[in-house]
Structure 1
Amino acid sequence: MKRILSSALLASAIGLNATGTGHAQDGMTITVYKTPWCGCCHVWTEAVQKAGYTVKVHDIEDLTQVKKQAGVSAELEACHTAVLDTGRKYVLEGHVPIEAVEKLMSERPEIRGIATPGMPSGSLGMGNDPNARYDVLAFTGNAADRPTVFYEAGKR
């Protein structure tokens, strides 16, 4: 039963190119799928909410189906998956910094989403060090397409 509910929630949240409502201020709604015991995901979620986004959290024990439906490849995986609803839905995988989310919102590229693979030290939720250097990658969801650098954290 839990798996059926998770699949239904996911199918509605990750549907790409769907129109949606529910904007908070100038921000948008971000739906976060995470495991219930992950503290760094909780910190990331709180920071996104503090930045002015409306945040909906779904605690799920196994994120395998979420990542699969979101088009997140193994090389891009991190500890949580989120969906940013801008009227078009983008996947945010892992500890994506607010600056990368803002860039995504302003540019609105034709991609599936952006990812901060793994759990880079100093990323948002992992210490939040503004000088930490790591890449945020853009991906299309097509296995044939290589991810590209979308945002370079820690560069000034």
Structure 2
Amino acid sequence: MRRFVGLQRRQWVVGALVLATVGAWAQPDGPIVEVWKDPQCGCCKDWVAHMEKAGFVVRVHETGNVGARKRLGIPDKLGSCHTASVGGYALEGHVPARDVQRLLKEKPRAVGLTVPGMPVGSPGMDGPAYGNRLVPHDVLLVQADGRSTVYQSYR
């Protein structure tokens, strides 16, 4: 009986060590981005791939984004097809990963970033399917009062 108890204890300790090791391996490499989008939206899926390629870990909620946009404080007039959250900031639309990285580094007092609408040439709205075109557009920094300023321009 004593040998049996010792074996169980040893198995438990080994199991706990294995779980701890697996847990350490499973830690994300970059900040976690939560995304709310329509399940049918292909450009949103392409934006998610853009963010993952840049090192972000992305969790997608296929529930639509209107509620998330409102909850995170992005005015409807600055809306787009998907809404995200990362590091305490809101992201609306096709915001480039490099601008998100800059936001997380600079940590301005703001609600977050938006690329209103769905401009061709923005991440997820780019590539051969869009004729490799770039429609000039701005990434806006959104303040708590709903005002916005240009954070980055793409021309």
* TM-score tier (shorter): 0.7 to 0.9
1:74 equivalenced with 2:88 (yes/no): no
1:24 equivalenced with 2:24 (yes/no): no
Give the 4+ runs in structure 1 shifted more than 6 A: none
Distance 1:142 1:37 in 2: 32
Specify the code of the residue in structure 2 equivalent to 1:148. Answer: T
Comparing 127-136 with 71-80, which one deviates more in the overlay? Answer: 127-136
Deviation string, structure 1 residues 31-87 (Cα, Å, up to 9, x no partner):
0000100000000001101111111000014x32211111111221000000012xx
1:140 equivalenced with 2:139 (yes/no): no
Distance 2:106 2:34 in 1: 20
Q: Point out where structure 2 has 5 or more consecutive residues left out of the alignment.
A: 1-25
Change (3 A) 1:66 1:24: same
CA RMSD of aligned residues (A): 1.9
Structure 2 partner of 1:99: 98
Structure 2 partner of 1:64: 66
Structure 2 partner of 1:3: none
Which of structures 1 and 2 has the larger relative contact order (alpha carbons within 8 angstroms, sep 6+)? 1
SS at match of 1:105: helix
Distance 1:127 1:54 in 2: 21
Deviation at 1:134, TM superposition (A): 1.2
Structure 2 partner of 1:10: none
Is the 8 Å Cα contact of residues 23 and 29 (structure 1) preserved in structure 2? Answer: no
Change (3 A) 1:140 1:59: same
TM-score (norm 2): 0.74
TM-score (norm 1): 0.74
Query: Between Structure 1 and Structure 2, which shows a larger proportion of helix residues?
Result: 2
Change (3 A) 1:140 1:133: same
Distance 1:119 1:112 in 2: 20
Map 1:86-125 → 2, pairs under 5 A: 89-125=88-124
Distance 1:141 1:77 in 2: 15
Which protein shows a greater Rg?
Answer: 2
Give the share of equivalent positions with the same residue, in percent: 38
Comparing 63-72 with 130-139, which one deviates more in the overlay? Answer: 130-139
Deviation string, structure 1 residues 17-39 (Cα, Å, up to 9, x no partner):
xxxxx9733x2000000010000
Is the 8 Å Cα contact of residues 126 and 133 (structure 2) preserved in structure 1? Answer: no
